[in-house]
Amino acid sequence: MAILAFFFVHWQLSVLFQSFFQHRYVAHRQFTMSRRWERFFHICTYVTQGASYLQPAAYAVMHRMHHAYSDSAQDPHSPHFYPHAGSMMWTTKDRYLDLVAGREQPEARFAGGAPDWLSLEWFANTWFSRLAWVAVYVAIYVQFATSPWLFALLPFHFVMGPVHGAIVNWCGHKYGYRNFDSADKSTNALVFDFLTAGELFQNNHHAFAMSPNFGVKWYEIDPTYWFMRALRAVGIITFKASPAMRVTPLAAPAEVAPAPVEATLV
Ligand SMILES: [Zn+2]
Ligand SMILES: [Zn+2]
């Protein structure tokens, strides 16, 4: 029971901070917060992602490319150009590592705007850090696993970030329904995204990339948005765009033109 609880909590917190910090804050700059809070949430992101921590700047570059070139041959991870999610994520991993190492220079419009805490990023990217987190996960399983079968879950902790990425990037552009007739192949895969903290509302998100709420219909529940609303209520973050103005056009979704991608990126 303790192991299943640990798995659940690690899964949820890892994807919550990926959605909140790397995606909505760094890649899209959907909201602002003080430098002190930025550092606090950067630490939260590092701790919850642990062995599979993603450098925010490289994540942001790849994600902005994904929006600009969505489901075309230049999209870094469109499922429509790969036979399965494994090959898509392997290519994505190589591209990410090239960006982190400086072997690939991104277009200028995709770069910049990332938090600068180079010492944390450097340490989090070391093998020492990643293997230390692996050791923590193994120790927890050794201490609390009540059945050998539970160890089948252990490898997921090592690659939690890529697992979430595979689910979102594959399913969110392949399976589900569409509210908006956008030029890409994005879909909404769930009406309550309990798996990836709202990231599976890809069709809504591609239509309104600056909206902090990825759910647009009343029954579409985006957990990260509610987390952000709580932070806004106590004055920690400030939204740049109003979620309300994103919800009202839904009476006639076909008439709503998606916002230009360039306008959503900074
Ligand atoms: Zn997408
Ligand atoms: Zn996005």
Report whether pLDDT(258) > 50: no
Using CA atoms, how far apart are residues 238 and 205, in angstroms rounded to an integer? 19
Mean predicted confidence (pLDDT) in 7-26:
97
Q: Ligand 2 centroid to 182 CA: how many Å?
A: 14
Task: Count Cα neighbours of 189 within 13 Å in the Cβ-side half-sphere.
Answer: 20
C-alpha pair distances (Å), 115 with each of 37, 38, 118: 11, 8, 9
Q: Ligand 1 centroid to 154 CA: how many Å?
A: 28
The pTM (predicted TM-score) of the whole model is: 0.88
- Domain hosting 42: range is 2-264
Number of domains in the chain: 1
How confident is residue 248, by pLDDT bands cut at 50, 70 and 90? very low
Q: Ligand 2 centroid to 210 CA: how many Å?
A: 8
- Sorted by sequence, the CB contacts under 8 Å of residue 181 that are 6+ apart come out as 253, 254
pLDDT at 259: 42
